[in-house]
Amino acid sequence: MSVVGEETLNVVLAQLLLKRGLKTLGEARIPGLGLRKPDILILVNGVKVILEGKYRRSGARRELEEKCRERIDEGLCEICISVEYPFSFEGFLHPTMEDVERVLLKRGVVANIAWISAEGIKTSGWVSAKIDDLATLVRSSYTSIVSEDLLGRAVMSLDASLKEATDRVLEIPRIDVLISRLKGAMGLLEVELGRREREGE
């Protein structure tokens, strides 16, 4: 067992990503999430990205993949990145935060990206990445997902909501009375009457 806890690794990784221009929170208690707090929360232009990290061991990848699916299914994020730490600190007697940072920068991580799409949850497959590469992966996954899947899904959702609202309004009895009252409340009746008076002159 490593002498450095996964929580410490997550915090240091969050700090390294912060230094690379990403808005990150490592192991932070977020109101409303309770015990479901993410290892690392990243905000990229309003899109929530969660990063879950574990040491390499038997079954760790499967656990990380399941955790990411849960995070997306629960609506906690649109993108979830599983991170495996492919090293340990067994050669260190008392590793410092600087030691942890040096090892992370030297060894990097192995990552798998999961994201929500119109067809369900998709994954990238596991890839080795240095910290700079991981920051680039976060940004590029945001860009591709927003431009394709999330934007299309949002447009479809908005379109369905507008159709439903229109259908409901048309079912209201005496809709003409409601329209007149709304116009009066918004001051549109006076504008309409003024326009008719000018046209009549």
For residue 126, the model assigns a pLDDT of 96
Mark residue 195 as left, alpha or beta (left: phi above 0; alpha: psi -120 to 50; beta: remaining): alpha
154 or 1: whose pLDDT is higher? 154
More confident residue, 37 or 190: 37
Distance of alpha carbon 107 from alpha carbon 83, whole angstroms:
13
Residue 176 confidence (pLDDT):
75
Helices marked H in the chain — which ranges?
6-19, 60-73, 97-107, 131-145, 151-170, 175-185, 188-200
> Rounded distance, CA 104 to CA 107, Å?
5
Lowest mean pLDDT of 53-67, 134-148, 165-179, name the range: 165-179
**pLDDT(161) > 90:** no
Residue 1 has pLDDT above 50, yes or no: no
3-state secondary structure of 81: strand
Task: Please write the tens of the pLDDT for every residue from 46-99.
Answer: 889 999 999 999 999 999 999 999 999 888 888 999 999 999 888 888 889 999
Q: Which residues contact 43 (CB under 8 A, 6 or more apart)?
A: 23, 49
pLDDT value, residue 110: 96
How far apart CA 46 and CA 152 sit, in angstroms, is: 17
Burial of 124 (0-12, 13-18, 19+ CB in 10 A): middle
Mean pLDDT for 132-160 is 74
| Positive/negative CA dihedral, 138, 89, 97, 7 | positive
* Angle, CA 91 vertex, CA 88 and CA 96 arms, to 5°: 80
User: 18 φ, ψ to 5°?
Assistant: -60, -40
Cross-strand partners of 84: 54, 110
Residue-level pLDDT at 145 = 72
Torsion, Cα 24 26 27 33, to 10 degrees, reads 0
| pLDDT reading at 32 higher than 90 | no
DSSP per-residue string spanning 11-60: HHHHHHHHHTT-EEEES---TTTGGG--SEEEEETTEEEEEEEEES-TTH
Mean pLDDT (the chain, rounded): 83
Domains of the chain: 6-158 (3.40.1350), 172-201 (no CATH)
- Looking at the chain, the whole-number percentage of residues with pLDDT higher than 70 is 80
Confidence (pLDDT) at 61:
96
- Percent of residues, the chain, with pLDDT higher than 90: 45
pLDDT score at 101: 95
Residue type, 112: N
